[in-house]
Amino acid sequence: MITSPVSPDNVGRYIDQALVESDAEAVDQFVARVLCRAHQSAEDRNAPSEARAILDVAQMFADELVARDPAFDRFGFVEAATEGPA
């Protein structure tokens, strides 16, 4: 349960804590899954500007994940976050 107001600092601390306390791979898979659903929804609604914005967000997440772990698969993350149904 979140008891403090939502702010970028609070969210950042929460994400940092989640990355330390849990499996970082699970966190990036969760983020990729959420972004993938949003990207697919935008494509289904024929909203290319929304799909592009979600791609941009995926790339920003990937940049942050690479900053934490230079061996992180940036391309694979962005691909997973924006791929269509198989």
pLDDT in tens, 41-70: 999 999 999 999 999 999 999 999 999 899
Query: Residue 76 belongs to what domain range?
Result: 22-82
Most confident of 5-9, 30-34, 46-50, 64-68: 46-50
In a domain, 43, yes or no: yes
In a domain, 63, yes or no: yes
Residue 1 has pLDDT above 50, yes or no: no
User: What is the model's pTM?
Assistant: 0.70
The domain tally of the chain equals 1
Structure tokens at 82: 């924006």
In this predicted model, which residue has the larger pLDDT, 25 or 37?
Answer: 37
Structure tokens at 11: 């969210």
pLDDT band, residue 27 (cuts 50/70/90): confident
In a domain, 14, yes or no: no
